């Protein structure tokens, strides 16, 4: 298989423009179209749907894309092992992350990353709702949860300690719970897909934060919106300390049931599909985020 044609296909899939992909590789538009047509004939499948107005990935093309990226990564690694080639960090990197964390900690870093790596373009998809890394064709993602997908590899960025909190106004009106059982009579704010969270006390006693069994009139699938609503007196919610440390210090939020800890394995993970070789663009972005965030005072002190 002609790896130059595979590289052309990956670029065309990222740009959804065959001519632009060809120009990036020094090919005339007619040559690029011919190379892709030859690759499709070799594979026996149409990888791209073409019309006079747009280019789109076919189902076969979407299935082949991750393998195509792996072929190129393996070629770059093999050349590097022989002291040949220059596996430069280039191309478009599709990165998915929690919108709340990205707004606070990642977005301010992006200009510096782009300045360091002028050959990389970033395509960020930010959401606090669950997503499928592989089906979404993401190169890399940041997840703040327990990691149980065996189809992924990961690097731990930091622990993610979560606590229950509410506003002073809400607690003045509704009272302050003293035991997890008291939560059933309180207004809880939850994520739509969240399962009940076990709470463990200092002497081993336990309870649950379970919006499904309490008075939950607010379901909000966005961490920042949950925090804002909690500060406005909407009820009791679970928030990561990296998100609310300033509000706790200022007193606009109060730690509820401080003697009880959430029994979960949540952490901040950089995850990517299983592969023997990381592409250069993914590797340098992981290294950059580890450099900037793993030693961040918030990650070191507030999550312990």
The pLDDT value recorded for residue 300 is 57
- Backbone torsions φ then ψ of 91, nearest 5 degrees: 100, 180
86 found inside a domain: no
Q: What is the pLDDT of residues 42-86, one digit of tens each?
A: 999 999 998 877 889 999 999 898 888 888 877 777 766 665 555
What are the backbone angles phi and psi of residue 149, rounded to the nearest 5°?
Answer: -90, 110
Judge residue 200's burial from the number of C-beta atoms within 10 Å of its C-beta, 0-12 exposed, 13-18 middle, 19 or more buried.
Answer: middle
208 and 67 belong to one structural domain: no
Q: Of 46, 81, 116, which closes a domain?
A: 81
Phi-psi region of 235 (alpha: psi -120 to 50; beta: other; left: phi over 0): left
CATH number for the domain spanning 214: value is 3.40.190.290
Query: What average pLDDT does this structure show over 1-8?
Result: 87
Spatial CB neighbours of 158, under 8 Å, sequence gap ≥ 6: 267, 268, 293, 294, 299, 300, 303
Strand-pair partners of 189: 218
CATH number at residue 119: 3.40.190.10
Query: Residue 299, Cβ neighbours under 10 Å: how many?
Result: 19
| Residue from 59, 62, 58 nearest 49 by CA | 58
Domain range for 56: 3-81
* Per-residue pLDDT at 120 exceeds 70: yes
Sign of torsion over alpha carbons 280, 103, 251, 241: negative
Q: Which of these three, 55, 81, 107, is where a domain ends?
A: 81
DSSP 201: -
- Same domain? For 61 and 209 the reply is no
Answer yes or no: is pLDDT of 113 > 80.
Answer: yes
Assign residue 34 the CATH number of its domain: 1.10.10.10
At 304 the pLDDT is: 43
Same domain, 74 and 95: no
Q: Is the pTM of this model over 0.75?
A: no
Same domain for 204 and 112? no
Tell me whether residue 219 is in a domain. yes
204 and 295 belong to one structural domain: no
The sign of the torsion formed by the CA atoms of 18, 91, 7, 60 equals negative
Give the chain's domain count.
3
201 within domain boundaries:
yes
Is there a single domain that holds both residue 232 and residue 219? yes
Instruction: Identify the bridge partners of residue 125 per DSSP, sorted by sequence position.
Output: 96
- Model confidence band, residue 285 (pLDDT cutoffs 50, 70, 90): very high
Residue 286 falls inside a structural domain: yes
- Is 170 found in the same domain as 256? yes
Q: Which pLDDT score, from 0 to 100, does residue 82 have?
A: 64
Q: Answer yes or no: is pLDDT of 150 > 80.
A: no
At 303 the pLDDT is 44
Residues 180 and 210 in one domain: yes
Q: Round to whole Å and give the CA distance between 113 and 118.
A: 9
Looking at the fold, whether 104 and 139 belong to one and the same domain comes out as: yes
Within this chain, do residues 174 and 218 fall inside the same structural domain, yes or no? yes
Instruction: Report the C-alpha gap between 118 and 38 in whole angstroms.
Output: 31
- Between 89 and 62, where is the model more confident? 62
The reply to whether 186 and 252 lie within a common domain is: yes
pLDDT higher than 80, residue 155: yes
Residues 226, 95 share a domain:
no
């Amino acid at each position: 298989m002609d790896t130059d044609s595979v590289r052309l296909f990956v670029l065309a899939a990222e740009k959804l423009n065959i001519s632009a992909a060809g120009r990036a590789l020094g090919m005339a538009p007619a040559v690029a179209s011919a190379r892709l047509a030859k690759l499709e004939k070799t594979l026996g499948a149409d990888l791209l749907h073409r019309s006079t107005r747009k280019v789109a990935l076919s189902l076969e093309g979407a299935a082949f894309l991750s393998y195509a990226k792996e072929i190129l990564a393996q070629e770059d690694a093999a050349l590097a092992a022989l002291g040949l080639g220059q596996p430069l960090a280039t191309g478009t990197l599709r990165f998915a992350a929690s919108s709340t964390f990205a707004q606070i900690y990642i977005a301010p870093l992006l200009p510096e990353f782009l300045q360091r790596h002028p050959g990389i373009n970033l395509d960020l998809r930010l959401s606090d709702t669950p997503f499928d890394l592989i089906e979404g064709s993401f190169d890399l993602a940041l997840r703040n949860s327990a990691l149980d997908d065996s189809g992924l590899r990961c690097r731990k960025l930091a622990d993610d300690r979560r606590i229950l909190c509410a506003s002073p106004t809400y607690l003045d009106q509704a009272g302050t719970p003293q035991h997890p059982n008291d939560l059933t009579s309180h207004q809880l704010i939850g994520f739509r897909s969240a399962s009940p969270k076990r709470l463990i006390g200092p002497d081993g006693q336990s309870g649950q934060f379970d919006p499904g069994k309490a008075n939950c009139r607010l379901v909000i699938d966005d961490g920042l919106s949950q925090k804002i609503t909690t500060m406005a007196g909407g009820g009791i919610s679970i928030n990561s300390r990296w998100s609310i440390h300033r509000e706790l210090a200022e007193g606009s939020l109060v730690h509820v049931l401080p003697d009880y800890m959430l029994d979960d394995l949540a952490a901040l993970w950089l995850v990517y599909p299983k592969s023997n070789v990381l592409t250069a663009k993914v590797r340098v972005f992981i290294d950059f985020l580890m450099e900037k965030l793993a030693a961040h005072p918030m990650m070191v002190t507030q999550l312990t």
